[in-house]
Structure 1
Amino acid sequence: MAKKIKVTKVRSAINRTQTQKRILESLGLRKIGQVVEHDATPSILGMVNKVEHLVSVEETK
């Protein structure tokens, strides 16, 4: 069974690069406080790593 992570948007994307805005959108994050759950695949973890200053991450089962 794959590990899951919960990603929460905690900071605004205003004054961020277009790449970071696209990463947040592809993760499914639009509003501050919104939480999405993803499998902990290398591609998802790479996207989270690029915007780690805008999101918080928790591991779940």
Structure 2
Amino acid sequence: MAENKKVRLTLVRSKHGRLPTHTACVAGLGLRRMHQTVEVIDTPENRGMINKVSYLLKVEEV
């Protein structure tokens, strides 16, 4: 595990008015506000959250 692959996420649609589970996934990924960008490690747990709220995010491989 010397090389940790990362994914760059940007919140491009608002999380307000979404299902509580989707809001929780966005918070779990570390996103708080619109157009904020974070880098997360590409794990199966993070991939699951990304897939659940993919309609809110812009995803880039790093």
Give the number of equivalent residue pairs: 60
- SS at the partner of 1:53? helix
Match of 1:55, as an amino acid?
A: L
Which of 36, 40, 43 lines up with 1:41 in the alignment?
Answer: 43
Name the Cα RMSD after superposition.
0.6
Which of 16, 19, 22 lines up with 1:20 in the alignment?
Answer: 22
Provide structure 2 residue ranges, at least 5 long, that are not aligned to the other structure.
none
Shift of 1:2: 1.9
Provide structure 1 residue ranges, at least 5 long, that are not aligned to the other structure.
none
Give the Cα–Cα distance (whole angstroms) in 2 for the partners of residues 39 and 13 of structure 1. 22
The Cα offsets for residues 22-58 of structure 1, whole Å up to 9 and x where unpaired, read as 1111111011100010110000011000000001100
Give the Cα–Cα distance (whole angstroms) in 1 for the partners of residues 6 and 17 of structure 2. 30
Corresponding residue of 1:6 = 8
Percent identity, please.
43
